[in-house]
Structure 1
């Protein structure tokens, strides 16, 4: 936690203690003054002001508190001018307490929001740091989406075709039920090593999903060039499966979907990724 976070946390604690102290003081004053009906009415008014503070912020809260104070002043002036004997002067603390409670609540919630924002930024940073899969050392979906944006910009500036290939294991859910955990891990490593070995150095490989293993490749080429590259990967994968003692007895094959970036129909990196995933349905 940096100094700003520590300061926000300290202010939040101070606001909380001040808020609790004010509520305790209010309870004592309500007991001392003894006017149960007016105290209950004013308490509900104070709770309403606190809800305004929480949901709408400081400025609406201050305006509402000023209106509440004005109403109390008007009531007391009316009672005084009409010579009402029992003017509840002892309840004048309600002019100050709701305002102080609102300020304490705002201070507490404001610093809480600052801490929440800091935590959100920390989570984002952790996600970005997790742009690489630890087991395969491949880039993940986070990096894939960011890199598509870079590839798309290159396509726009230099008119270089950009294509993605999405690779999956055919009938993986069925294979998963028949294979041991060791075989599954071995299959994923074999697939990853095959893709790495059969791609060019300037083609970037990603692991998009661990549960339903999905790999992706970004290539500076058109659909035809990507088809040649994926055929090479498929052939290498088939050869490796045939020569692998633990996997050769199973019907394991790849399915591939290829999509090319189209600036006219695609607006976000997700459009290219989803198009590639959709194309895997047609690889029979």
Structure 2
């Protein structure tokens, strides 16, 4: 409903601007003796409308008041010095110039509402998406859903479940060293490295893309998780030695924290993540 209203406002503003421009063209064509003066004033009206488009209606109307004052002073000066009369063209531009500013503001307000609505929809879509578009990995939304299923299986069948949280060391500093287009590649490469180190029935999640943080749900105990941790770190070291560091101009290191699921200590999926992240402090 809001989107339709914004679109209607934008359309009305655009149509109003076209109508006023048509009136201006007809008026200028009907006054050939004042052609140059009318063209100059029309350009000023355009300039004021552009200022309104890129700033605010307040700035545009303030400049219009300044224009009306200066134009009125100019007309009075001509009348006194040349003995002329105030013609229709004077009143026309005193009315038309602010009108052009107002219709541009109406058009701009509609467009900005549409842009804001589009941004809200993009954020909503992003928050509801269960898979990251660049890595095809399940994200934190998927983790919340899957963790409840995994923990239920763990409790029911008494199968140990461990969460690994993986984070790239010094990521905030690395972001400043790696070109923006390579950041997604680095995240994808580390994701592939982690994916290749687990079994098919284990699950990998990209928990925080901005902070380069992954989660691994493993049907294993703490000792089994240690084997997976060593495997991941070993594979990363191999990649660094075979050109991985040359690709990104830095050596990528990982911090990995692990916590085994305990129904009495873990209340929800977020609590599971928090407890695993605490273990990152011990991996230096």
* TM-score w.r.t. length of structure 1: 0.55
Alpha-carbon spacing, 1:235–1:79, altered in 2? closer, same or farther (3 Å) = closer
| Aligned-pair CA distance for 1:51 | 1.6
Residue number in structure 2 paired with 1:14: 12
1:248 is matched with: none
Shift of 1:66: 1.1
1:195 maps to 2:202: yes
2:197/2:228 contact within 8 Å kept:
no
Query: Distance between the aligned counterparts of 2:75 and 2:41, measured in 1?
Result: 14
1:104 aligns with 2:111: no
1:115 is matched with 114
Is the Cα contact below 8 Å between 1:195 and 1:233 reproduced in 2? Answer: no
Partner of residue 140, structure 1: 139
Q: What SS is found at the alignment partner of 1:54?
A: helix
**Which moves more between the two structures, 110-119 or 123-132?**
123-132
Given that residues 54 and 106 in structure 1 are in contact (C-alpha distance below 8 angstroms), is that contact kept between their aligned partners in structure 2?
yes
Over residues 28-51 of structure 1, what are the superposed CA-to-partner deviations in whole Å (9 max), with x where a residue is unaligned?
111112212111210121111012
Q: Is this contact kept in 1: 2:164–2:225, CA < 8 A?
A: no
Deviation at 1:137, TM superposition (A): 9.8
Q: Does 1:164 align with 2:171?
A: no
**1:73 to partner: Cα distance:** 1.4
User: Do the aligned partners of residues 137 and 18 (structure 1) sit closer, same or farther apart at CA in structure 2, a change above 3 Å counting?
Assistant: closer
Rounded to whole Å, the distance in 2 between the matches of 1:56 and 1:83 is 39
Distance 1:114 1:258, change over 3 A: same
Superposition deviation, residue 141 in structure 1: 6.3
Displacement after TM superposition at 1:21 (Å): 0.4
**Residue 230 of structure 1 is aligned with which of 215, 225, 230?**
225
Q: 1:266-281, aligned counterparts within 5 Å?
A: none
Partner SS state of residue 164, structure 1 = strand
Equivalence map 1:243-258=2 (5 Å): 257-258=254-255
- Unaligned runs of 5+ residues in structure 2 are 144-162, 169-184, 186-191, 233-251, 258-272
Assess if the C-alpha contact under 8 Å between 1:15 and 1:104 holds in 2.
Answer: yes
Partner residue of 2:265?
A: none
Cα drift, residue 227 of structure 1: 7.9
Corresponding residue of 1:5:
3
The Cα shift of 1:232 comes to 3.6
SS of structure 2 residue aligned to 1:193: coil
Q: Note the C-alpha offset of 1:163.
A: 7.2
Quote the offset at 1:75 in angstroms.
1.6
Count of equivalent residues = 198
User: Whole-Å Cα distance in 1 between the matches of residues 119 and 142 of structure 2?
Assistant: 19
> How many angstroms apart in 1 are the aligned matches of 2:114 and 2:202?
43
Does the CA contact (< 8 Å) of 1:164 and 1:218 recur in 2?
no
Structure 1 gap segments, 5+ residues each: 145-161, 168-172, 174-184, 197-204, 220-225, 238-254, 261-268
- Asked whether the equivalents of residues 132 and 139 of structure 2 are also in contact (C-alpha less than 8 Å), the reply is yes
